[in-house]
Amino acid sequence: MSMIWDVVIVGGGPAGLSAAIYAPRAGLSALLVEEAVPGGQLLEAPAIENYPGFTESIPGVELAERMRAQAERLGAQFQAARATGLAQRNGEWVLATSAGEVRARAVIVATGARPKELPARGAKERVGRGVSYCAVCDGYFFRGKDVLVVGAGDGGLTEALVLSHLCSKVYLVVRHPQSDPHAIRAKEALRDQALSQPNVEVLWNVVVDEVRGEGKVEEVVLQDLATAEKRSVPVDGVFVKIGWKPNTDWLRGGLDLTEGGYVRTDSLMRTDRAGLFAAGDVRDPTGRRAQAVVAAAEGALAALSAEGYTRSL
């Protein structure tokens, strides 16, 4: 495309789609570049019950389609392409993509992050059918059931605490022995709060070897790291919190990232590079929650900041 866009949005999750709604409403020409079908992690949610404005649950796919339709109605355009690099040239931003270069006055990075997958047989095939990477999103569907949480950091203990108020039994898998003072890496206050719940049980020095079930999760196979023995535990759900990986490989070398690869911004979604903004799960996760409504709000802020920037040129 030979034109210079006011703003190019990279990533089509809730942050990018929200930015694509707000930017044209502010009078900006806006292009959203997304390699896959727009929607991001919304596409993996069978039902969403905590997004404002919906009295009944809505499939994540439908919510994403509505957001895209709204953005298109307001004037945003979409391009299916993979971002491969970003640079400044003659006072403009030049986004390199698998479909060619795109020029813009401002860029909003909203490429999100993906959870690190549980390295166990059968886990990937059962995502959305009992395997989940978000207790706040999916815990409601496991009310009164038995679940297992994988992860001994802040994320895992937060998941266990959330689920303890919903589920009958919460098993917490820890891959280190109880005698290891660093077995649970979560903050002490969070650890004490979660482990004090009467329905939370820690399974020490084990890993999940396999997730089983006909059409949905029915049991997990745990392997003892000391003896190599395996045993089955019947559960209805498996919640995984073993870390995230931001989708920023295409930005390395062109932007100051955190050690974990996240984008640093201020409260208005501005990076340390003029005209470059970021929103959603691609941002430094310190102090924020990975929720669709949070990402959407950040996308709106990024678009408004981009408007202010382009008006000042």
Q: Which residues of 20-36 are buried (b: 16+ CB within 10 A; e: fewer)?
A: bbbbbbbebbbbbbbbe
For residue 253, pLDDT beyond 60 = yes
The answer to whether 51 touches 297, Cβ cutoff 8 Å, is no
| 138 in active site | yes
Confidence class of residue 155 from pLDDT cuts 50, 70 and 90? confident
Whether 151 contacts 241, CB under 8 Å: yes
Sign for the pseudo-dihedral over CA of 139, 141, 145, 149: negative
Which residue has 């098993």 as its token pair?
171
Q: What integer best gives the mean pLDDT of the chain?
A: 94
Question: How sure is the predictor about 2, in pLDDT bands with cuts at 50, 70 and 90?
Answer: low
Is 137 catalytic? The answer is yes
- Among residues 6, 138, 236, 281, the one annotated as catalytic is 138
Residue range 61-85, pLDDT digits in tens: 999 999 999 999 999 999 999 999 9
pLDDT of 134 reads 87
Sign of CA dihedral 247, 287, 159, 140: negative
Helix (H, G, I), strand (E, B), or coil: what is residue 124?
Answer: helix
Structure tokens of 285? 């996760």
The pLDDT value recorded for residue 137 is 82
Helix locations, the chain, DSSP H? 14-25, 60-74, 135-138, 154-164, 188-195, 292-311
Over residues 132-143, the pLDDT tens digits come to 998 988 999 999
User: Would you call 134 a catalytic residue per the annotation?
Assistant: yes
Residue 121 pLDDT more than 60?
yes
Q: Smallest Cα–Cα separation from 13: which of 307, 293, 306?
A: 293
Instruction: List the catalytic residue out of 137, 167, 236, 281.
Output: 137
Q: What is residue 123's predicted lDDT score, i.e. its pLDDT? A: 96
**Average pLDDT of the segment spanning 43-60:** 87
| R_g of the chain, CA atoms, integer Å | 21
Q: What is residue 164's predicted lDDT score, i.e. its pLDDT?
A: 97
- Number of residues in the chain: 313
Looking at residue 100, its amino acid is G
Tell whether the model's pLDDT for residue 201 goes beyond 60: yes
**Helix, strand and coil percent figures for the chain, each rounded to 5:** 30, 30, 40
pLDDT at position 1 over 80 = no
∠ CA 158-50-290, rounded to 5°:
45
| Reported confidence tier of residue 256, pLDDT bands at 50, 70, 90 | confident
> What pLDDT does 67 receive?
98
With cut-offs at 50, 70 and 90, classify the pLDDT of residue 160: very high
Give residue 43's pLDDT. Answer: 84
Q: How confident is the model over 167-189, as a mean pLDDT?
A: 95
End-to-end CA distance of the chain: 22
What's the gap between Cα 139 and its chain centre? 16
Using alpha carbons, list the distances in angstroms from residue 258 to 106, 267, 282.
22, 16, 11
* Integer Cα distance of 191 and 286 in angstroms: 18
Catalytic residue chosen out of the listed positions 6, 134, 167, 281: 134
Q: What is the pTM of this model?
A: 0.76
Counting residues of the chain whose pLDDT is more than 90, the rounded percentage is: 85
Residue-wise pLDDT for 231-242, tens only, equals 999 999 999 999
Q: What does the DSSP assignment read for 233-253? A: EE-SEEEE-S-EEES-GGGBT
